[in-house]
Amino acid sequence: MKNRWPAAYQVIEKLEYAGFEAYVVGGAVRDFIRGVSANDVDVTTNATPNEVKQLFEHTIDVGIEHGTVLVVVKESIEVTTFRSEDTYSDFRRPDNVMFVRSLQEDLQRRDFTMNAMALTKNDELIDYFDGRADIKQKLIRAVGDPFKRFSEDALRMLRAIRFSAQLDFSLHGNTLEAIEMQHKLIDRVSLERVKVELEKIWTSNHVGKGMHLFKTSKLAINFPGDWKTYLDKWNRFLMFENVANGWAFFALMQQSNDINTLLNFYKCSNAEKMHVKQVLLAVEKLKKGHWTAYDIFQFNEEILIAAAYYAEIILDMNTPYENNDIQRLKAAIPIASSREIAVNGNELMEWKQEKRGPWIKEVLEKLTIAIVNGQVENERAQLKEWYFREYDN
């Protein structure tokens, strides 16, 4: 571990030296067993948060109420005290955190066997629930009774599906059955959390698998949106470069739902809503068969690429655009934005002999269109000529 995760090693070494136990847990151990590098390395210990804080010079309280302290050594390591969650009020947030004595109790509260292993600083694996065997079989299996575990925390159902999409693992029989039977509990989970998991599925390598499970496990029933059309139109090549494209595809799949209401329901950000709107508009324009020069100018490359792609899948259109075409067409437009016009407001005021006013914006807009459409070159003398021809007053 020393070479692989030097910061975690240093934290564990110091805790052990002070007489505590400490291990790497969770996703990092899972990824280590899978033979891939881990995102972040978390440490669990029997030291209380205050004991952890006393031991290390630089710490940040990130979740003291959950028993978590961020220890900053070479990098930041989350150190969480062994704990269990034993009372649940809303199926999501434990009422209180119970610190526990043993590592085993801490591991027992974790969601899936693959996430419930610990590693000592000398790379000895502690695996009470056969997580390693499940990883070998590419199985996601709840720790303990899945029915109970999902009723404790319904988010785990969605996490199971998300991991399946990220890791290309299957759900163990009972685990899947428990989701199918208790899918309604997902209602108790806040939409912010649902959104995070959905988006992780959308940007995973096996998004098709995840969305298929989302439907067959019956979780999808509990969420507004036309998930049926969504999956009917699914294409095995479909991948989302970013979450906004995931929402754009979702929006395009809606037959009878109001898209704005849906995006608000899922707590999409304004930037996401704007992205979706633009993709929808660009798809709409493509229904005429091709984009005009002004369309190409108006939408950014990312929007055009997404729209062309979705139009093919959804409208079953044979769109005339490949990614390279879009880049080429974009590059052929003389200006990338109206800021690049070779005249400015001052010059227009001089030409027209008139004070500043909203008319300037109007003229600049007209100029933009003329330049984009190739009616005039973006060159001062020519623009002036064009202006006096157009507005000969």
For residue 27, state whether it binds Mg ion (rule: CB under 5 A): yes
Nearer to ligand ATP, 162 or 285 (CB): 162
In contact, 151 and 91? CB cutoff 8 Å = yes
Partner in contact with 29, chosen from Mg ion, ligand ATP, none, beta carbon below 5 to 8 Å by kind: none
Q: How far apart are CA 1 and CA 391, in angstroms?
A: 75
Owner of token pair 């108790």: 188
Residue from 6, 27, 144, 345 in contact with ligand ATP (CB under 6 A): 27
Nearer to Mg ion, 33 or 263 (CB): 33
For residue 345, state whether it binds Mg ion (rule: CB under 5 A): no
For residue 110, state whether it binds ligand ATP (rule: CB under 6 A): yes
Q: Per the annotation, does 110 bind a ligand? A: yes
Q: How far apart are CA 194 and CA 262, in angstroms?
A: 14
Tokens in use for 338?
């109206």
Region 246-265 residues binding ligand ATP, contact defined as CB under 6 A: none
By beta-carbon distance, which residue lies closest to Mg ion? 27
For residue 115, state whether it binds ligand ATP (rule: CB under 6 A): yes
Region 136-175 residues binding ligand ATP, contact defined as CB under 6 A: 153, 155-156
For residue 26, state whether it binds ligand ATP (rule: CB under 6 A): yes
Q: How many CB atoms lie within 10 A of CB 96?
A: 10
Q: Per the annotation, does 30 bind a ligand? A: yes
Minimum separation from the CB atom of position 109 to ligand ATP (A) = 6
Sequence-separated (6 or more) residues with CB below 8 Å from residue 263: 247, 251, 272, 273, 276
The region of 23-31, 66-74, 287-295, 376-384 touching Mg ion under the rule CB under 5 A is: 23-31
Q: Per the annotation, does 106 bind a ligand? A: no
Minimum separation from the CB atom of position 357 to Mg ion (A) = 56
Q: Measured between alpha carbons, how far is residue 322 from residues 77, 183, 241, 298, 308 in Å?
A: 44, 41, 16, 18, 8
Tokens in use for 323?
């990614």
Sequence-separated (6 or more) residues with CB below 8 Å from residue 60: 69, 70, 72, 76
In contact, 11 and 73? CB cutoff 8 Å = yes
Name the CA dihedral angle for 245, 246, 247, 248, rounded to a multiple of 10 degrees: 40
Nearest residue to 310 (alpha-carbon basis) of 267, 264, 251? 251
Q: Per the annotation, does 27 bind a ligand? A: yes
Region 356-375 residues binding ligand ATP, contact defined as CB under 6 A: none
Q: How many CB atoms lie within 10 A of CB 36?
A: 10
Q: Per the annotation, does 153 bind a ligand? A: yes
Partner in contact with 131, chosen from Mg ion, ligand ATP, none, beta carbon below 5 to 8 Å by kind: none
Minimum separation from the CB atom of position 229 to Mg ion (A) = 33
Minimum separation from the CB atom of position 41 to Mg ion (A) = 9
Binding residues for Mg(2+): 40, 42
The footprint of Mg ion (CB under 5 A) covers 27
- Which residues contact ligand ATP (rule: CB under 6 A)? 26-27, 39, 110-111, 115-116, 153, 155-156
